């Protein structure tokens, strides 16, 4: 338990589950300031984690080949004992979902060497292309549910379901009551998920905006009255 983690983790506010969060409990700027407590080598791992999180948010216009190429550059950086257990699962989720989407669109089975996805399952999935769940339900029991959402076109439910899977995974790998670098990285990961969810939740964003505007107008109201 290196010393820097204890103060840092104790100084981070509680992150509620992304579906229950009404706002970010800590701003990006303040989070970055707090991360300044880390040793330089740990901070460098945080930077790598940020690169991974950025990779996950590729623009829609970017092709699969570009994604794979970007991942190959990133892979060397995230294959670290502190990072890989956290990031392997989201990568697998992404790969399986890519396979499900591809099959749903009626695209052919990926050819060997074709840059269609990343991660350790990328070669195995095409081998079981005909099976609805790729014979992987023992490893990924969530595939049937995700497939149902995808077939039904329930995009929001699917997104919530997948994000919740990843959230649970991150909490399992690095519980919040521990004081380790992984807990710090897990916090950043979850913070990013909360931010992403809030940004997508237009209703909550609109309500927050209304509150802010009302607060400002209320303060200045008497001046103009």
Site residues (vs other proteins, CB under 8 A): 1, 3, 6-14, 34, 176-177, 179
**Nearest CB to other proteins, comparing residues 5 and 71:** 5
**Nearest CB to other proteins, comparing residues 6 and 212:** 6
The Cα–Cα gap between 215 and 29 comes to 23
**Nearest CB to other proteins, comparing residues 9 and 118:** 9
Confirm if 204 and 22 have CB atoms less than 8 A apart: yes
* Closest CB 41 distance from other proteins, rounded Å: 19
The Cα–Cα gap between 66 and 14 comes to 36
**Nearest CB to other proteins, comparing residues 184 and 193:** 184
**Nearest CB to other proteins, comparing residues 99 and 188:** 188
* Closest CB 40 distance from other proteins, rounded Å: 19
* Closest CB 42 distance from other proteins, rounded Å: 15
* Closest CB 13 distance from other proteins, rounded Å: 5
* Closest CB 195 distance from other proteins, rounded Å: 19
In terms of DSSP H, where are the helices of 108-154? Answer: 124-127, 143-152
**Nearest CB to other proteins, comparing residues 14 and 105:** 14
User: Angle formed by the axes of helices 40-56 and 181-200, to 10°?
Assistant: 30
* Closest CB 73 distance from other proteins, rounded Å: 35
């Amino acid at each position: 338990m290196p010393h820097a983690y204890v103060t840092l983790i104790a100084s981070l506010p509680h992150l509620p589950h992304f579906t229950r969060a009404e706002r970010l409990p800590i701003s990006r700027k303040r989070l970055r300031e707090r991360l300044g407590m880390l040793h330089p080598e740990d901070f460098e791992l945080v930077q790598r984690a940020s690169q991974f999180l950025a990779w996950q948010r590729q623009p829609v216009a970017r092709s699969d080949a570009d994604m794979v190429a970007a991942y190959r550059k990133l892979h060397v950086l995230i294959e670290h004992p502190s990072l890989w257990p956290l990031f392997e699962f989201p990568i697998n989720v992404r790969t399986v979902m890519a396979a499900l989407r591809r099959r749903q669109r009626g695209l052919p089975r990926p050819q060997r060497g074709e840059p269609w996805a990343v991660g350790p399952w990328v070669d195995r999935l095409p081998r079981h292309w005909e099976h609805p769940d790729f014979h992987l339900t023992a490893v990924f029991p969530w595939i049937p549910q995700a497939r149902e959402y995808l077939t039904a076109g329930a995009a929001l439910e699917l997104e919530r379901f997948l994000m919740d899977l990843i959230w649970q995974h991150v909490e399992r790998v690095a519980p919040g009551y521990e004081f380790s670098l992984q807990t710090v990285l897990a916090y950043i990961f979850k913070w990013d998920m909360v931010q992403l969810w809030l940004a997508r939740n237009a209703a909550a964003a609109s309500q927050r905006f209304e509150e802010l505007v009302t607060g400002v107008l209320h303060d200045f109201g008497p001046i103009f009255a």
